[in-house]
A and B are shown apart, each in its own frame.
Chain A
């Protein structure tokens, strides 16, 4: 049996909001922070689903819920086929590796824990994994401190692959790296992806990175999924105003057209989201309706978009 897909069904995660002893005495219920609000999507087998958004949008919380590190407050995660072997790769290659362990022990740990190989074959498998991520088998005797940030991220990836995952969650795997090293890791991940056909969830704040890595892209804002479509559709024909503004806001490398496209305003306090549509306080196209009614998720062919209006690309061009 193999993993056929991952279904994220109406997942919510609220932090706090439960009355402690003191609040109960005072008869208060704290508000709680709804970090993830009613998010649903599916990942098919072999697919890379990207999630983008700014800090505080809930993407990392959602990754931890899907990865089983946090309990959802509502909804559930269903795995089609089998319960998968799941591995995660995190942003910070400095804190995610145990500095007291040698690299070959770090990589062997998932193999030993899940008894994936007979004892005599573990060392050979570790050497194979080190080569697969572009390190030398001789590096196994060193400690993580002996390596640069990019090399440590290679070790994290080798450790994740050692668990022979059928589902891989990557949470900002290249955000702490310099651009030339980031490019190496992205190419390594793309290569592994095409060779191993891994089902994965790729979380990042960087739009170019998600466009490079993902088959489909979900855009999150203030805990909600506001648009989900194929990477091509998201970037060439975005339908949600936030998606469009976010794509335009990142400065590209064109030194001739130097126009900047800032998104007005700032992210609202996630514990006090605006009424109606969460993006309406910053949306240049907001109408009275947007403050009254939260927009439902609408389906349009293979795309989902959470906006009341059907805005054509032209009307969405950013006012100068």
Chain B
């Protein structure tokens, strides 16, 4: 179906060590990202979407630990690399953007120094060329007065300006893929749209693939080519963005879309709640983790963990999936 994937994640499991036991934070997750593709990863807090992103770049912090799985970037096994080798992959081959720009920026170094250091480490450029490229990146992310910005410290910039610099830092070493974890969540709606617009523009220019992790369905509807939905540590549905929103097959995906307040087509607004709450990893029910909240649950859902299977154009992990809805 897909040509050689750029990023391939196979049977990835992540455990949380607590009092000698391993709690499954992420359970047997597999997905691919094609070259130049934007894969949206959605789910509620605690669903495992952020740890999956952190595991790809080997940034899991104990007590979190990868317990199984293979991660390959163009066939190179990231999961077998030494910390030293991974250090060279991060930034150079895989860029990252986090929610809080201050975690990605060094508060005591000027913006110019941080951009130049990143490019010097990964691109082996001369210092005059470095300066030119740094100026170029500041302009490309839409900031006025690039010479002044290069001399500024992070705290002298506004939140929106800082997030633009974080995007420049993630892309300046020309990575093959960027992991963006809630890149616009801390921003106001007017600035969020600016940042998404910028990410889309740079994505078109550079062709860099992206894993876009967010809890905001609106963001993936506008940005992603395909969407992966996580629930209680498992990948429960993955499909093209259009198919996922028009015809969700997993009842949780449908529930998540229905829970977002939206116009009902008759001049009013509607919101349909999913009863209950997502279980914590220390209290997972047997069978399908969604069955206690699921309107379609039957007896077998309480005992069988549904595998991810091909359904129409996508894949879903559900024993009683919703029928395919044809476009109205």
Residues of A in contact with B (beta carbons under 8 Å apart): 54-55, 148, 150-151, 178-184, 186-187, 205-209, 211-212, 232, 236, 245-246, 249-256, 258, 260-264, 266-267, 282
Q: Does B218 contact A (CB under 8 A)?
A: yes
In the bound complex, do residue A179 and residue B260 qualify as a contact, i.e. CB atoms below 8 Å apart? yes
State in angstroms the CA–CA spacing of A252 and B245 once bound together. Answer: 11
State in angstroms the CA–CA spacing of A208 and B269 once bound together. Answer: 8
**Contacting residues, chain A, for B241 (C-beta < 8 A):** 255
In the bound complex, do residue B242 and residue A255 qualify as a contact, i.e. CB atoms below 8 Å apart? yes
Binary contact track B243-267/A, C-beta < 8 Å → 1, others 0: 0111000000001111111100001
State in angstroms the CA–CA spacing of A186 and B259 once bound together. Answer: 10
5 A-B pairs, CB-CB below 8 angstroms? A54-B190, A181-B44, A182-B259, A246-B190, A255-B246
State in angstroms the CA–CA spacing of A256 and B221 once bound together. Answer: 8
**Contacting residues, chain B, for A208 (C-beta < 8 A):** 260-262, 269
**Contacting residues, chain B, for A236 (C-beta < 8 A):** 267
In the bound complex, do residue B260 and residue A253 qualify as a contact, i.e. CB atoms below 8 Å apart? yes
Binary contact track B206-219/A, C-beta < 8 Å → 1, others 0: 00000000011111
Given A258-B222, A262-B197, A184 contacting B275 (CB threshold 8 A): yes
**Contacting residues, chain A, for B221 (C-beta < 8 A):** 251-255, 258
Q: Which of B44, B223, B274, B277 has the most CB of A within 10 A?
A: B277
**Contacting residues, chain B, for A180 (C-beta < 8 A):** 44, 255-256, 259, 273-274, 277-278
In the bound complex, do residue A205 and residue B259 qualify as a contact, i.e. CB atoms below 8 Å apart? no
Select A211's contact among B188, B200, B269, beta carbons within 8 Å: B269
**Contacting residues, chain B, for A186 (C-beta < 8 A):** 261, 271, 273
State in angstroms the CA–CA spacing of A148 and B44 once bound together. Answer: 13
In the bound complex, do residue B189 and residue A150 qualify as a contact, i.e. CB atoms below 8 Å apart? no
In the bound complex, do residue B262 and residue A266 qualify as a contact, i.e. CB atoms below 8 Å apart? no
Residues of B in contact with A (beta carbons under 8 Å apart): 44-45, 158, 160-161, 188-194, 196-197, 200, 215-219, 221-223, 241-242, 244-246, 255-262, 267, 269-275, 277-278
**Contacting residues, chain B, for A267 (C-beta < 8 A):** 188, 190
State in angstroms the CA–CA spacing of A255 and B161 once bound together. Answer: 28
**Contacting residues, chain A, for B191 (C-beta < 8 A):** 262, 266
In the bound complex, do residue B261 and residue A260 qualify as a contact, i.e. CB atoms below 8 Å apart? no
**Contacting residues, chain A, for B160 (C-beta < 8 A):** 266
State in angstroms the CA–CA spacing of A255 and B224 once bound together. Answer: 9
State in angstroms the CA–CA spacing of A254 and B260 once bound together. Answer: 12
Which residue of the partner chain B has the closest CB to A151?
Answer: B277
**Contacting residues, chain A, for B274 (C-beta < 8 A):** 180, 183-184
**Contacting residues, chain B, for A253 (C-beta < 8 A):** 217-218, 221, 245, 257, 260, 262
In the bound complex, do residue B267 and residue A212 qualify as a contact, i.e. CB atoms below 8 Å apart? no
State in angstroms the CA–CA spacing of A256 and B194 once bound together. Answer: 19
**Contacting residues, chain B, for A251 (C-beta < 8 A):** 192-193, 196, 216, 218-219, 221-222
In the bound complex, do residue A54 and residue B222 qualify as a contact, i.e. CB atoms below 8 Å apart? no
In the bound complex, do residue A55 and residue B196 qualify as a contact, i.e. CB atoms below 8 Å apart? no
In the bound complex, do residue A252 and residue B261 qualify as a contact, i.e. CB atoms below 8 Å apart? no
Which residue of the partner chain B has the closest CB to A254?
Answer: B221
In the bound complex, do residue A184 and residue B267 qualify as a contact, i.e. CB atoms below 8 Å apart? no
17 further A-B pairs in the complex, CB-CB below 8 A; given A184-B274, A253-B217: A148-B277, A179-B256, A184-B275, A208-B260, A208-B269, A212-B271, A236-B267, A251-B216, A251-B219, A251-B221, A254-B221, A255-B222, A255-B241, A255-B245, A256-B242, A262-B196, A263-B193
State in angstroms the CA–CA spacing of A82 and B104 once bound together. Answer: 53
In the bound complex, do residue B246 and residue A212 qualify as a contact, i.e. CB atoms below 8 Å apart? no
In the bound complex, do residue B189 and residue A54 qualify as a contact, i.e. CB atoms below 8 Å apart? yes
**Contacting residues, chain B, for A212 (C-beta < 8 A):** 261, 269-271
Which residue of the partner chain B has the closest CB to A184?
Answer: B273
Which residue of the partner chain A has the closest CB to B257?
Answer: A253
**Contacting residues, chain B, for A245 (C-beta < 8 A):** 190
State in angstroms the CA–CA spacing of A3 and B179 once bound together. Answer: 54
State in angstroms the CA–CA spacing of A186 and B219 once bound together. Answer: 22
**Contacting residues, chain B, for A256 (C-beta < 8 A):** 242
Which residue of the partner chain A has the closest CB to B47?
Answer: A178
Select A205's contact among B188, B244, B269, beta carbons within 8 Å: B188
Which residue of the partner chain B has the closest CB to A178?
Answer: B44
**Contacting residues, chain A, for B45 (C-beta < 8 A):** 178
State in angstroms the CA–CA spacing of A184 and B273 once bound together. Answer: 5
State in angstroms the CA–CA spacing of A251 and B277 once bound together. Answer: 25
In the bound complex, do residue A260 and residue B262 qualify as a contact, i.e. CB atoms below 8 Å apart? no
In the bound complex, do residue B197 and residue A260 qualify as a contact, i.e. CB atoms below 8 Å apart? yes
In the bound complex, do residue B256 and residue A262 qualify as a contact, i.e. CB atoms below 8 Å apart? no
**Contacting residues, chain A, for B271 (C-beta < 8 A):** 183, 186-187, 212
**Contacting residues, chain A, for B188 (C-beta < 8 A):** 54-55, 205, 267
In the bound complex, do residue A266 and residue B275 qualify as a contact, i.e. CB atoms below 8 Å apart? no
Closest Cβ–Cβ distance, residue A87 to chain B (whole Å): 23
Select A179's contact among B189, B259, B269, beta carbons within 8 Å: B259
State in angstroms the CA–CA spacing of A186 and B274 once bound together. Answer: 12
Q: Which of A148, A236, A255 has the most CB of B within 10 A?
A: A255
Closest Cβ–Cβ distance, residue B193 to chain A (whole Å): 4
